[in-house]
Structure 1
Protein backbone atom coordinates (compact mmCIF):
# COMPACT_ATOMS: atom_id res chain seq x y z
CA UNK A 1 0.00 0.00 0.00
CA UNK A 2 1.12 3.51 -0.79
CA UNK A 3 -1.01 5.71 1.45
CA UNK A 4 -1.06 9.50 1.20
CA UNK A 5 -3.09 11.61 3.60
CA UNK A 6 -3.82 15.17 2.51
CA UNK A 7 -5.11 17.34 5.34
CA UNK A 8 -4.23 19.94 7.93
CA UNK A 9 -2.61 19.55 11.33
CA UNK A 10 -5.65 21.07 13.08
CA UNK A 11 -8.29 18.89 11.38
CA UNK A 12 -9.65 16.26 13.79
CA UNK A 13 -10.68 13.86 11.01
CA UNK A 14 -7.17 14.07 9.56
CA UNK A 15 -5.72 13.20 12.98
CA UNK A 16 -8.13 10.25 13.24
CA UNK A 17 -7.08 9.03 9.78
CA UNK A 18 -3.40 9.19 10.77
CA UNK A 19 -4.16 7.28 13.97
CA UNK A 20 -6.12 4.63 11.99
CA UNK A 21 -3.09 3.81 9.81
CA UNK A 22 -0.54 4.12 12.67
CA UNK A 23 -2.47 1.64 14.83
CA UNK A 24 -2.38 -0.90 11.99
CA UNK A 25 1.33 -0.38 11.32
CA UNK A 26 0.66 0.95 7.82
CA UNK A 27 3.15 3.55 6.64
CA UNK A 28 1.71 6.71 5.13
CA UNK A 29 2.84 10.07 3.82
CA UNK A 30 1.16 13.13 5.36
CA UNK A 31 0.85 16.20 3.14
CA UNK A 32 -0.14 19.40 4.96
CA UNK A 33 -2.45 21.26 2.60
CA UNK A 34 -1.60 24.57 4.25
CA UNK A 35 2.03 24.18 3.17
CA UNK A 36 1.68 22.22 -0.06
CA UNK A 37 -1.67 21.67 -1.73
CA UNK A 38 -2.61 18.97 -4.22
CA UNK A 39 -1.34 19.05 -7.77
CA UNK A 40 -3.88 19.37 -10.57
CA UNK A 41 -3.33 15.72 -11.51
CA UNK A 42 -3.75 14.47 -7.93
CA UNK A 43 -6.89 16.55 -7.46
CA UNK A 44 -8.43 15.40 -10.75
CA UNK A 45 -7.79 11.71 -10.03
CA UNK A 46 -9.35 12.00 -6.56
CA UNK A 47 -12.29 14.06 -7.87
CA UNK A 48 -12.94 11.52 -10.62
CA UNK A 49 -13.19 8.63 -8.13
CA UNK A 50 -15.29 10.63 -5.64
CA UNK A 51 -17.98 12.13 -7.82
CA UNK A 52 -16.41 15.28 -9.23
CA UNK A 53 -15.15 18.66 -8.10
CA UNK A 54 -18.32 19.73 -6.27
CA UNK A 55 -18.10 16.68 -3.95
CA UNK A 56 -14.52 17.64 -3.04
CA UNK A 57 -15.49 21.06 -1.67
CA UNK A 58 -16.48 21.63 1.95
CA UNK A 59 -19.53 23.81 1.32
CA UNK A 60 -19.93 24.32 5.10
CA UNK A 61 -16.49 25.91 5.44
CA UNK A 62 -15.71 29.22 7.13
CA UNK A 63 -14.87 31.32 4.07
CA UNK A 64 -18.40 31.91 2.79
CA UNK A 65 -17.35 34.61 0.29
CA UNK A 66 -14.80 32.32 -1.37
CA UNK A 67 -17.26 29.41 -1.43
CA UNK A 68 -19.90 31.63 -3.07
CA UNK A 69 -17.35 32.73 -5.67
CA UNK A 70 -16.41 29.11 -6.42
CA UNK A 71 -20.07 28.16 -6.67
CA UNK A 72 -20.89 30.80 -9.25
CA UNK A 73 -17.75 31.22 -11.39
CA UNK A 74 -17.47 29.51 -14.76
CA UNK A 75 -16.82 25.76 -14.58
CA UNK A 76 -13.51 26.08 -16.41
CA UNK A 77 -12.24 28.48 -13.71
CA UNK A 78 -13.45 26.49 -10.68
CA UNK A 79 -10.58 24.01 -10.57
CA UNK A 80 -7.90 26.72 -10.57
CA UNK A 81 -9.70 28.66 -7.83
CA UNK A 82 -10.00 25.54 -5.64
CA UNK A 83 -6.32 24.64 -6.15
CA UNK A 84 -5.32 28.21 -5.22
CA UNK A 85 -7.39 27.89 -2.01
CA UNK A 86 -6.90 24.33 -0.68
CA UNK A 87 -8.67 25.24 2.58
CA UNK A 88 -12.02 24.69 0.81
CA UNK A 89 -11.26 21.02 0.08
CA UNK A 90 -12.85 18.44 2.41
CA UNK A 91 -10.24 16.71 4.54
CA UNK A 92 -8.73 14.26 4.91
CA UNK A 93 -8.22 13.15 1.34
CA UNK A 94 -6.70 9.67 1.59
CA UNK A 95 -5.13 8.07 -1.49
CA UNK A 96 -3.94 4.55 -2.12
CA UNK A 97 -2.79 4.46 -5.74
CA UNK A 98 -5.92 5.00 -7.84
CA UNK A 99 -8.25 4.50 -4.86
CA UNK A 100 -9.18 7.47 -2.72
CA UNK A 101 -11.64 8.76 -0.15
CA UNK A 102 -12.74 12.13 1.14
CA UNK A 103 -13.33 12.50 4.86
CA UNK A 104 -12.92 9.92 7.63
CA UNK A 105 -13.88 6.55 6.11
CA UNK A 106 -12.25 3.68 8.02
CA UNK A 107 -14.71 1.10 6.62
CA UNK A 108 -13.41 1.79 3.11
CA UNK A 109 -9.74 1.83 4.21
CA UNK A 110 -10.11 -1.62 5.83
CA UNK A 111 -10.90 -3.08 2.38
CA UNK A 112 -7.73 -1.67 0.77
CA UNK A 113 -4.85 -4.03 0.08
Structure 2
Protein backbone atom coordinates (compact mmCIF):
# COMPACT_ATOMS: atom_id res chain seq x y z
CA UNK A 1 0.00 0.00 0.00
CA UNK A 2 1.28 3.43 -0.96
CA UNK A 3 1.41 6.08 1.76
CA UNK A 4 0.69 9.65 0.65
CA UNK A 5 1.85 12.27 3.14
CA UNK A 6 0.50 15.79 2.71
CA UNK A 7 -2.39 18.10 3.51
CA UNK A 8 -5.88 18.43 2.11
CA UNK A 9 -5.10 22.00 1.03
CA UNK A 10 -2.13 20.94 -1.17
CA UNK A 11 -3.09 20.67 -4.86
CA UNK A 12 -0.24 18.27 -5.65
CA UNK A 13 -1.36 15.96 -2.83
CA UNK A 14 -4.91 16.05 -4.19
CA UNK A 15 -3.55 15.05 -7.62
CA UNK A 16 -1.75 12.06 -6.09
CA UNK A 17 -4.88 10.93 -4.25
CA UNK A 18 -7.03 11.35 -7.35
CA UNK A 19 -4.49 9.46 -9.45
CA UNK A 20 -4.56 6.52 -7.03
CA UNK A 21 -8.35 6.47 -6.98
CA UNK A 22 -8.58 6.56 -10.78
CA UNK A 23 -6.14 3.65 -11.11
CA UNK A 24 -7.63 1.67 -8.19
CA UNK A 25 -4.30 1.78 -6.35
CA UNK A 26 -4.49 1.09 -2.61
CA UNK A 27 -3.20 4.05 -0.62
CA UNK A 28 -3.14 5.52 2.87
CA UNK A 29 -3.39 9.28 3.23
CA UNK A 30 -1.58 10.93 6.15
CA UNK A 31 -2.88 14.45 6.72
CA UNK A 32 -0.11 16.47 8.37
CA UNK A 33 -2.67 18.88 9.80
CA UNK A 34 -4.29 15.98 11.69
CA UNK A 35 -1.32 13.80 12.67
CA UNK A 36 2.43 14.16 13.07
CA UNK A 37 4.87 11.71 11.56
CA UNK A 38 6.49 9.05 13.70
CA UNK A 39 10.23 8.83 14.34
CA UNK A 40 10.46 5.94 11.87
CA UNK A 41 8.69 7.92 9.16
CA UNK A 42 11.06 10.87 9.67
CA UNK A 43 14.09 8.52 9.55
CA UNK A 44 12.77 7.06 6.31
CA UNK A 45 12.44 10.53 4.79
CA UNK A 46 15.85 11.70 6.01
CA UNK A 47 17.57 8.55 4.71
CA UNK A 48 16.15 9.15 1.22
CA UNK A 49 16.51 12.95 1.07
CA UNK A 50 18.67 15.60 2.68
CA UNK A 51 16.64 17.54 5.27
CA UNK A 52 17.26 20.85 3.49
CA UNK A 53 15.75 19.37 0.29
CA UNK A 54 12.53 18.54 2.13
CA UNK A 55 11.86 22.14 3.21
CA UNK A 56 9.32 24.01 1.10
CA UNK A 57 10.84 27.47 0.78
CA UNK A 58 7.72 28.78 -0.97
CA UNK A 59 5.35 27.82 1.86
CA UNK A 60 3.47 30.53 3.71
CA UNK A 61 4.83 29.29 7.06
CA UNK A 62 8.45 29.46 5.84
CA UNK A 63 7.99 33.04 4.63
CA UNK A 64 5.91 34.20 7.61
CA UNK A 65 8.36 32.87 10.20
CA UNK A 66 11.39 34.32 8.40
CA UNK A 67 13.30 31.07 7.84
CA UNK A 68 15.08 32.63 4.86
CA UNK A 69 16.99 34.93 7.24
CA UNK A 70 17.80 32.60 10.08
CA UNK A 71 20.10 29.66 10.56
CA UNK A 72 18.42 26.47 11.74
CA UNK A 73 18.74 22.70 11.84
CA UNK A 74 16.47 21.55 9.00
CA UNK A 75 15.73 18.10 10.43
CA UNK A 76 14.78 19.49 13.83
CA UNK A 77 12.58 22.24 12.37
CA UNK A 78 10.79 19.77 10.09
CA UNK A 79 10.02 17.49 13.03
CA UNK A 80 8.74 20.42 15.12
CA UNK A 81 6.93 22.21 12.27
CA UNK A 82 5.75 19.69 9.63
CA UNK A 83 4.07 22.52 7.70
CA UNK A 84 7.57 23.20 6.30
CA UNK A 85 7.59 19.84 4.49
CA UNK A 86 7.27 19.76 0.71
CA UNK A 87 4.22 17.72 -0.17
CA UNK A 88 3.21 15.20 -1.27
CA UNK A 89 5.68 12.63 -0.02
CA UNK A 90 5.05 9.16 -1.44
CA UNK A 91 6.24 6.09 0.47
CA UNK A 92 6.11 2.45 -0.54
CA UNK A 93 8.02 -0.48 1.00
CA UNK A 94 11.04 1.54 2.10
CA UNK A 95 11.09 3.72 -1.04
CA UNK A 96 10.43 7.44 -0.79
CA UNK A 97 9.58 9.91 -3.54
CA UNK A 98 9.11 13.65 -3.11
CA UNK A 99 6.35 15.24 -5.17
CA UNK A 100 3.53 14.04 -7.38
CA UNK A 101 4.64 11.67 -10.13
CA UNK A 102 1.97 9.55 -11.86
CA UNK A 103 4.62 7.21 -13.31
CA UNK A 104 5.90 6.38 -9.81
CA UNK A 105 2.37 5.83 -8.50
CA UNK A 106 1.52 3.53 -11.41
CA UNK A 107 4.78 1.57 -11.09
CA UNK A 108 4.40 1.13 -7.33
CA UNK A 109 0.69 0.34 -7.67
CA UNK A 110 1.38 -2.58 -10.00
CA UNK A 111 4.05 -4.18 -7.78
User: How high is the TM-score relative to the length of structure 2?
Assistant: 0.84
Q: What CA distance in whole angstroms lies between the structure 1 residues aligned with 2:42 and 2:17? A: 20
Asked if 1:57 corresponds to 2:73, the answer is no
Give the structure 1 partner of residue 84 of structure 2.
Answer: 88
Spell out the pairing of 1:1-113 with structure 2 (5 A cutoff).
Answer: 2-49=1-48, 51-63=49-61, 64=63, 65=65, 67-68=67-68, 72-73=71-72, 75=73, 78-112=74-108, 113=111
Q: Which runs of 5+ in 2 are unaligned?
A: none
Shift of 1:81: 2.2
Q: 1:94 to 1:66 in 2, by over 3 A?
A: farther
- Choose 88-97 or 100-109, whichever is displaced more: 100-109
TM-score, length basis structure 1: 0.83
* CA deviation string 1:15-50 (max 9, x = no partner): 10001111111111111101112122212212322x
SS state at 1:54 partner:
helix
Greater than 6 Å deviation, 4+ residue runs: none
**Does the Cα contact within 8 Å between 1:47 and 1:55 map onto a contact in 2?**
no
Q: In structure 1, how many angstroms separate the alpha carbons of the residues matched to 2:67 and 2:18? A: 30
